[in-house]
Amino acid sequence: MTDKTTKKTTKPKKAAAKPRLSRKEKALTKKIEKLEENVEKLTDELVDQQLRVQAAEEKMLRVVAEYENGKKRVEREKERSLSFAKDRVLIGLFPIIDNIERSSQYEKDESDSENTSKGITLVLDQIQKYLKDTDDVEAYDPVGEPFDPELHDAMAMHPSDDHESGIIIEVFEKGYKSGDRVLRAAKVVVSQ
């Protein structure tokens, strides 16, 4: 007899069968998948926006730092300019001081009042020239002019038969202008 060997053939096992989903369950599954996609998309957008915000914050901090540095630099330059301007004024006054000292020494040595007066006049002329050359500063003596509160500071009012009301009849201190700008108003007496 012939041996017949029986071969067992094994059938491949079927993968676990997916449970059948109802129509409602399929719709919910699709919705969940769409929502997961939206969440992933929104998460990516959020990360992108966070990176943009971080970059904007860094840029803003740099701009603020540059502004502060510029502000400090301008302040230093302003102080330096003021210092140079003061030095320029002082240096210009030194020769005038020297001439006043010479005039004072001459007054002690001489009793000639005419020469003393001449020395003082020369020093005053030198001061006025210095002011004119430095910043176009000029003194103004408003005797006989109508009172103007922009240019004059009334110290007193006196009745006057020779002048109509509101006319300057006396000057206590001259005023000073630099161009159109009043540096010091003239102190005056005004007629009533």
In this structure, is the dihedral angle defined by the CA atoms of residues 69, 75, 77 and 80, taken in order, positive or negative?
Answer: negative
C-alpha 152/C-alpha 190 separation (Å) is 10
What is the token pair recorded at 91? 């240096």
**What was the pLDDT predicted at 84?**
84
C-alpha 37/C-alpha 178 separation (Å) is 77
CA-wise closest residue to 36 among 24, 47, 28 = 28
146 half-sphere exposure, CB direction, 13 A CA radius: 3
**What was the pLDDT predicted at 110?**
61
**What was the pLDDT predicted at 83?**
84
Ranges in the chain annotated CATH 2.30.22.10:
138-192
Domain spanning 26-135 has what CATH number?
3.90.20
2 half-sphere exposure, CB direction, 13 A CA radius: 2
| Contact yes or no for 144/167 (Cβ under 8 A) | yes
Q: Which residue has the tokens 């020093």?
A: 123
CA-wise closest residue to 138 among 97, 179, 168 = 179
- The 8-class DSSP code of residue 90 comes to H
**What was the pLDDT predicted at 107?**
64
| Contact yes or no for 177/140 (Cβ under 8 A) | yes
Ranges in the chain annotated CATH 3.90.20:
26-135
pLDDT by 10s per residue, the chain, length 192: 455 555 555 555 655 666 787 888 888 989 999 999 999 999 999 999 999 999 999 999 999 999 999 999 999 999 999 888 877 777 777 777 777 777 767 666 666 566 666 777 787 888 888 888 877 888 888 999 999 999 999 999 999 888 899 999 998 888 888 888 888 889 999 998
C-alpha 167/C-alpha 191 separation (Å) is 5
**What was the pLDDT predicted at 10?**
58
| Contact yes or no for 138/131 (Cβ under 8 A) | yes
CA-wise closest residue to 138 among 90, 186, 97 = 186
The CATH class of the 138-192 domain is: mainly beta
